[in-house]
Amino acid sequence: MELADFKVLTFDCYGTLIDWESGIWHALAPLVARSGGSRVRDAALEDFGRHEAAQEEATPAMPYPQLLSEVYQRLAREWGVAATRAEADRFGASVKDWPAFPDSAAALQYLKRHYRLVILSNVDRLSFRSSNARLQVEFDAVYTAQDIGSYKPDPRNFEYLLRRLREDFGLARPDILHTAQSLFHDHVPAQRIGLATAWIDRRHASSGWGATAPPPGTPKYDFRFDSLAALAEAHQNAT
């Protein structure tokens, strides 16, 4: 299996292209401070990841800004901190402020010359719009949890992806390389449905799972890179 074997790269966005952990941590800073300020970044992110996954499973049709607002209130209760609905809603609207990884835009611009680029994201279209501007590339298609009515790792999201790629572009399963950071949200369900995957291991220098829930079992993947720039370089070196 080679990178050049594929016709389309399907991307998770948050954690893969957008540095959501930095964005989440910055947006949670006031709540962390009011809880005593003793929580380190990774511990706070792990709490977020646990509550986000639980909320996504409990309310699969809830729009992502509202879901983030609920997660904020869950965190406040767990940390013993009072939080207003306005504060929670500000956190829910913070996706637009989350930064892109420094290598994302340039790597995507290179990859766009060789593949179709498609987003499969757990957010809503409005939230993604600001992120798309930071990424400085035109995606061939954007499929969100808002469109599908469920959140990854629900297999429905990947079934939707396969159906739309077939109907919209005439692409089949062997044409697709799903490219993502989260083993929990992306690699486990993508591999189960028979997709090849490339792990962008953004947390390679850190321990633990950060803002994503721990994956079940021993996840498999077909390629692994420390960054999106490393994937682009590997493709360039192979061609």
- Sign of the dihedral defined by the CA atoms of residues 182, 68, 72, 21, in that order: positive
138 vs 123, 129, 188, 220, CA distance in Å?
18, 11, 27, 30
Length of the chain: 239
Contacts of 97 (CB under 8 A, 6+ apart): 23, 26, 27, 130
Q: Can you tell me the distance from the alpha carbon of 113 to that of 26, in angstroms, rounded to the nearest whole number? A: 34
Q: Can you tell me the distance from the alpha carbon of 125 to that of 67, in angstroms, rounded to the nearest whole number? A: 14
Q: Can you tell me the distance from the alpha carbon of 13 to that of 122, in angstroms, rounded to the nearest whole number? A: 8
- Sign of the dihedral defined by the CA atoms of residues 34, 39, 40, 46, in that order: negative
Active site residue 12: yes
For 203, half-sphere exposure in the C-beta direction (CA atoms, 13 angstrom radius) is 18
Spot the catalytic one: 5, 12, 147, 175.
12
DSSP annotation of 94 reads G
By annotation, the residues acting in catalysis are 12
